[in-house]
Amino acid sequence: MTFSKNESLCKQELQSWQLTHLQETLERVYYLVPFYKKKFDDAGVLLKDIKSLKDLSKLPFTKKQDLRDNYPFGMFSVDMDQIVRIHSSSGTTGKPTVVGYTEHDMSIWAEVMGRAFTMGGVTCQDIMQNSHGYGLFTGGLGFHSAAERMKIAVIPSSTGFTSRQLLLLKDFGATVLTATPSFALHMAEVAKNEGYDIQKDFKLKVGFFGAEPTSDGMKKEIASIWGIDYHEVYGLSEIIGPGVACNCKHSNLLHIHEDHFYPEIIDPKTGEVLPEGERGELVITTLTKQGLPIIRYRTGDITSLTRIPCKCGRTLGRIESIVGRSDDMLLINGVNVFPSQIEHVLSKQDGVTLNYQIIADKKGYLDKLEIDIELNPEMMSDDIGDLDRLKKTIQHALLNHLYINVDVKLVAPKSLTRSEGKAIRVIDKRQK
Ligand SMILES: [Zn+2]
């Protein structure tokens, strides 16, 4: 079952929809957003040059910095009387990026989230505990508004206050949980410490997680601890918020709602569009948004795109779970390393947890990589010889998978700094 008919259009219907809406969007931004008029003029591209979807690659990219340079509302294509919601990034590393939604945009957002909920089998009979942060961050309210429109009972518990979250989860009997993956694991850890029987005390059957790159191992761990179906929701505020893509029950790949968000995969260094199936940076053009239409936005997220048909019958293309950020990517002695690759290796090892920290540093002229990993509590009583063997096994597995030597340190359970929101996995001590 699908939520909207656009999820299963045939290729010709989809492409014709995309081209029509692309041309409308280009016209909108050219005449209504001075930034785009200048950008297209400087690139020497005329609107009439865009005759096919492939022609989109003639247009320049939009970057996060462009949103900052036009802070706060310079990229909006409507007057403020049309805007019904404003979100913004935290702006910890410069001016925040600000996004605005019209009523029409809010409907699109609810529609794509409705598709995600339907992929997870959620109906108006369900109760959803929304443990995403509320506020300027799009996670909390993005899930909330869409759930309300689908008449799903939503508990706006937001993130943090873990003991209270668990109390609500048990007493209100939520069947659906939405959170960041690291918070879902944190909740499980606290639940165990507080003496809950996770499988018996809670009624959860499905969870929607996102906002952090997550390995298959971590997804499986969350699904098995909570006894739920794991669905990943991908999104970013510059495009709409959560709901840009989500996986159905038949696939680990995420259906991207390409009737609204047109995807391209590019080589992050050269900007060239890569062939289907190759891994690179995801670039998205919004096709239907009014408040903040965006052309060829560089998401910074590394993934690949396939249009191999999915068993569920949806014809929307699918992207891999985000492998890493093009700006999170660590370059270690010339080798690209993503935290998710390390997590993938750790998820297959007994004796250690997925609480780890990656520390990149210099030794002389060379880069060196250290990974501190928390042991499972039961490993602590074992003798030094066992720990040494475990350390060597992990080092060997990392070398095989990443092609680099990694210095592994096994540390006591709960000794690494925890964060209740997004996990900070990487510390780069090298001179930038
Ligand atoms: Zn599918």
Query: What CATH architecture applies to the domain 330-428?
Result: 2-Layer Sandwich (3.30)
What is the pLDDT at residue 417? 76
Enumerate helices (H) and strands (E) in the chain, giving the number of each. 11, 21
Give 230 Cα–ligand 1 centroid separation in angstroms.
14
Q: How far is the CA of 311 from the centre of ligand 1 (A)?
A: 6
Return the pLDDT at 105.
98
pLDDT at 290: 98
d(C-alpha 284, C-alpha 169), whole Å: 36
Distance 264 CA to ligand 1 centre (A): 19
Q: What's the CATH architecture for 1-327? A: 3-Layer(aba) Sandwich (3.40)
pLDDT digit of tens for each residue in the chain (432 aa)? 899 999 999 999 999 999 999 999 999 999 999 999 999 999 999 999 999 999 999 999 999 999 999 999 999 999 999 999 999 986 655 688 999 999 999 999 999 999 999 999 999 999 999 999 899 989 999 999 999 999 999 999 998 899 999 999 999 999 999 999 988 999 999 999 999 999 999 999 999 999 877 888 889 999 999 999 999 999 999 999 999 999 999 999 999 999 999 999 999 888 999 999 999 999 999 999 999 999 999 999 999 999 999 999 999 999 999 887 777 778 788 777 878 788 889 988 989 988 899 999 988 888 899 999 999 888 876 677 889 999 999 999 999 888 888 999 999 988 887 665 455 688 888 865
Position 212 scores a pLDDT of 78
Within the chain, which residue ranges are assigned CATH 3.40.50.12780? 1-327
Q: Quick one: pLDDT at residue 419?
A: 61
Identify the residue whose tokens are 């699908």: 2
Q: Token pair for residue 428? A: 């780069």
Amino acid 171: pLDDT: 98
Sign of CA dihedral 72, 76, 81, 85: negative
Using the mean position of ligand 1's atoms as its centre, give its distance from the Cα of residue 7 in Å: 10
Q: How far is the CA of 227 from the centre of ligand 1 (A)?
A: 22
Q: What's the gap in Å between 308 CA and the centre of ligand 1?
A: 10
The pLDDT of residue 107 is 97
Distance between Cα 51 and ligand 1 center (Å): 30
- Which residues sit opposite 265 in a β-bridge? 282
pLDDT of amino acid 381: 66
Report the side by side order of strands in the sheet with 261-266. Answer: 261-266, 280-286, 297-303, 324-325
Type of residue found at 362:
K
Give the pLDDT of residue 93: 58
pLDDT for the residue 222: 96
Residue extent(s) of CATH 3.30.300.30 domains in the chain: 330-428
How far does residue 217's CA lie from ligand 1's centre (Å)? 21
Q: Cα(258)–Cα(286) distance, rounded to whole angstroms?
A: 9
Widest CA span in the chain: 72
From the CA of 226, how far away is ligand 1's center (Å)? 23
Q: Separation of 380 CA from ligand 1 center, angstroms? A: 43
Interatomic CA distance for residues 137 and 144, integer angstroms: 12
From the list 341, 88, 86, the residue with the least C-alpha distance to 216 is 341
Cα 12 to middle of ligand 1, angstroms: 19
**How remote is the CA of residue 315 from the centroid of ligand 1, in Å?**
8
Query: Ligand 1 centre and the CA of 319: distance in Å?
Result: 11
Q: Could you give the count of Cα atoms lying within 13 Å of 254 in the half-sphere of its Cβ?
A: 27
Return phi, psi of residue 118, to 5°. Answer: -65, -35
113 C-alpha to ligand 1 centroid (Å): 15
Beta bridge partners of 207: 177, 230
